[in-house]
Amino acid sequence: MNITETLLKNLSAGELQQLACEVLERIHKNDWGIISQSGGCEGGFRTRKGTPDMWCTTNESDDYICIQATADSANGKLYNDLCKSVETLVEMEKNEGATCISFINYDPNIEEVKKCMDYCKMYKCKYKLYHNRRIAKIIDTKYPDLRIKFINLNVNNDIIDIPLMYDSFQKEIEYIFQNIECEDKEYNSLLAVTIMELAKNAFEHGNASKVKLLIKENNIKFIDNGNDFNLYLYKGKCKLNGGGKYTLEYFLNKYQDKVNYNYQYINGENIISFDSHKNIKYKLDVDNTCSVNIPETNYLAAKKTDYIFSIPKHCDVVRLRVVGNFMALSDFGYIINKLIRSIPQNYKIEIVIDKEKMEFVGGFVIRCFDLENGRISLKVG
């Protein structure tokens, strides 16, 4: 299960109905008329009773399309909603050639789906099912803007609220952290593993029914409604199948200069905070030719990074090499200026640029850096 499938399950009935309307209108923009929402309230995500939830007719033959958006996975709900739509069509004498669609944010029971298909066939109409996995694939591959619009409805003030599911939390966490920009990939990876251990403990040992992440810049909160338990203070012995405490301690010890850990138990919830309170310390090893490659990064990442140079004793100059795919000049200017300021004043600096980039990048260096004081020079290499 991917993250889209997981988050779709958290949509309310009204949100799911609005999503169904937008997805189906885009898919059938050339062959359907405008969808009317008999089960929706204008101006929001509330629903009202109406059968079907939405309907329209085909442009070519005026056949009816009836759509039921169902977020309730209770046994029999899918079939009962479909029956109501078919009964409405029969009363109108519009059932022959009509299509009934179920748009649901869960994976239904195959027997109930078959009952829906057989019921429609009996009344000479077609049946189509858009289930959770199918909807997620459509959103991810065709309409990513809808993913942002509907799945991230709970994003507010740059805070992303992501629920974790017991049967898929490891894949969810892996996906989330793969998409978090971080200069220190090892830090990011180890934090993800630490969060996985916390989630496993919450679900399996804390009996939590709700687990979620709150993510914003420089802060990640892990929240669960399980038993009051601070893993960091746990005094039990390490077990082969119990590496959570070791992982948490290892992470916090390794990055003690970067992250603050805080635990609270408030209103029945364990709240664990990881606050990145200091810049990442990034070590640059100057080689025996007194050269080091300029990091391939960007302004935002470099702004949060402290560069520390390890320089061989025989070097009296540090050569900063421009390599790889070149970045925006605005980023380059900030990064190289920060690198220069991080090199002790007793070292001269050579900015080494290959011949192909010299005219463009070299021209920028000449214009923006003081090359006349003798400390900084430009070289072709």
pLDDT for residue 364: 86
pLDDT in tens, 315-335: 999 999 988 666 788 888 888
Average pLDDT, the chain: 85
Question: Are 138 and 13 within one domain?
Answer: yes
The pair of three-digit structure tokens given for residue 369, joined into one six-digit string = 């850096």
* Residue 9 backbone dihedrals phi, psi, to 5 degrees: -65, -15
Classify strands 280-285 and 305-310 as parallel, antiparallel or unpaired.
Answer: parallel
d(CA 48, CA 69): 12
Q: At what angle do helices 77-92 and 110-122 cross, to 10 degrees?
A: 10
198 and 108 in a common domain: no
* 265 and 290 housed in the same domain: no
CATH for 70 = 3.40.1350.10
Q: At what angle do helices 244-254 and 185-204 cross, to 10 degrees?
A: 150
CA angle (243, 189, 321) in 5-degree steps? 145
- Residues 122-139, mean pLDDT to the nearest whole number: 93
Q: For 139-148, 210-219, 280-289, which range has the lowest pLDDT when averaged over its residues?
A: 139-148
* C-alpha to C-alpha distance for 290 and 320, rounded to whole angstroms: 9
Residues 46 and 138 in one domain: yes
Of 111 and 295, which is predicted with more confidence? Answer: 111
Predicted local confidence at residue 24, as pLDDT = 95
Per-residue model confidence as pLDDT tens digits over 7-64: 788 788 888 999 999 999 999 999 999 999 875 444 443 434 557 899 999 999 999 9
Owning domain of residue 332:
280-380
Q: What pLDDT does residue 295 have? A: 86
Would you place residue 350 in the very low, low, confident or very high pLDDT band (cuts 50, 70, 90)?
very high
pLDDT at 44: 42
Domain count, the chain: 3
Whether residue 159 sits in one domain with residue 100: no
Output the pLDDT for position 323.
80
Of 45-49, 72-76, 176-180, 375-379, the poorest mean pLDDT is in 45-49
Residue 32 DSSP label: B
Output the CA–CA distances (angstroms, integers) from residue 247 to 19, 189, 198, 312, in the order listed: 40, 12, 10, 35
**Domain boundary, last residue among 276, 296, 321:** 276
98 and 128 within one domain: yes
State the CB neighbour count (10 A cutoff) for residue 372.
7
CB atoms closer than 10 angstroms to residue 308: 11
Choose among 264, 172, 251: nearest CA to 224: 264
Residues 189 and 128 in one domain: no
| CATH number of 183's domain | 3.30.565.10
| Confidence (pLDDT) at 156 | 44
Same domain, 264 and 284: no
**pLDDT, tens digit, 9 for 90 and up, residues 230-272:** 877 776 665 555 688 889 999 998 887 678 899 999 999 999 9
Residue with more model confidence, 292 or 235: 292
Highest mean pLDDT among 115-129, 136-150, 214-228: 115-129
Q: Are residues 344 and 302 in the same domain?
A: yes
135, 151, 167 - which closes a domain: 151
Report the 10 Å Cβ neighbour count for 137.
13
Looking at the fold, whether 263 and 302 belong to one and the same domain comes out as no
pLDDT of 154 reads 43
Handedness of CA 247, 248, 250, 254 (dihedral sign): positive
Cβ-based neighbour number of residue 21 at 10 Å? 21
Question: Does 238 share its domain with 337?
Answer: no
Q: Within this chain, do residues 290 and 304 fall inside the same structural domain, yes or no?
A: yes
Please say whether the beta carbons of 53 and 78 come within 8 A: no
Phi, psi of 313 (to 5 degrees): -60, -30
Among the candidates 276, 294, 314, a domain finishes at 276
Would you state the pLDDT for residue 49? Answer: 53
Quote the percentage of the chain above a pLDDT of 90.
46
Question: Residue 344: is the preceding peptide bond cis (ω within 30°)?
Answer: no
- Band the pLDDT of 179: cuts 50, 70, 90: low
Residues 6+ apart with CB under 8 A from 106: 9, 71, 73, 131, 132
Write out pLDDT tens, residues 148-164.
Answer: 677 654 444 456 777 88
